[in-house]
């Protein structure tokens, strides 16, 4: 019984940690690249004008790199706009190609 309780407690703590990692950050501390990547992916997924599954996002020192294939120039521009909305983004390198 005690082991089950400990496992449940550990699982709960993991969920809390994961939730706080993607919560909005309002701080003077620099935003971590993994947070920025997650938030950009969420913005792309929310936007019906972008095909988030076809867009690969990476972040290095606040610089977001978008790679993959999109259907139009408008979608390419929209993906870049979505990425720039995210707090902590220093710039966007748009390497998306239009099919």
Alpha-carbon gap, residue 9 to 81, rounded angstroms:
40
Instruction: Tell me the β-bridge partners of 58.
Output: 65
Alpha-carbon gap, residue 46 to 28, rounded angstroms:
27
**What are the pLDDT digits (tens) for 41-95?**
999 999 999 989 999 999 999 999 999 999 999 999 999 999 999 999 999 999 9
Alpha-carbon gap, residue 38 to 57, rounded angstroms:
9
The interaxial angle of helices 33-46 and 73-84, nearest 10 deg, is 130
Contact 50, 44 (CB under 8 A): yes
Rounded to two decimals, what is the model's pTM? 0.69
């Amino acid at each position: 019984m005690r082991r089950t309780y400990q496992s449940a407690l550990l699982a709960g703590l993991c969920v809390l940690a994961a939730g706080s990692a993607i919560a909005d950050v309002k701080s003077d501390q620099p935003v971590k690249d993994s947070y920025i990547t997650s938030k950009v992916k969420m913005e792309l997924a929310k936007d019906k004008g972008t095909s988030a599954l076809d867009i690969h996002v990476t972040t290095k020192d606040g610089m977001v790199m978008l790679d993959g294939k999109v259907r139009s120039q408008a979608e390419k521009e929209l993906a870049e706009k979505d990425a720039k909305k995210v707090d902590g983004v220093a710039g966007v390198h748009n390497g998306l190609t239009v099919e």
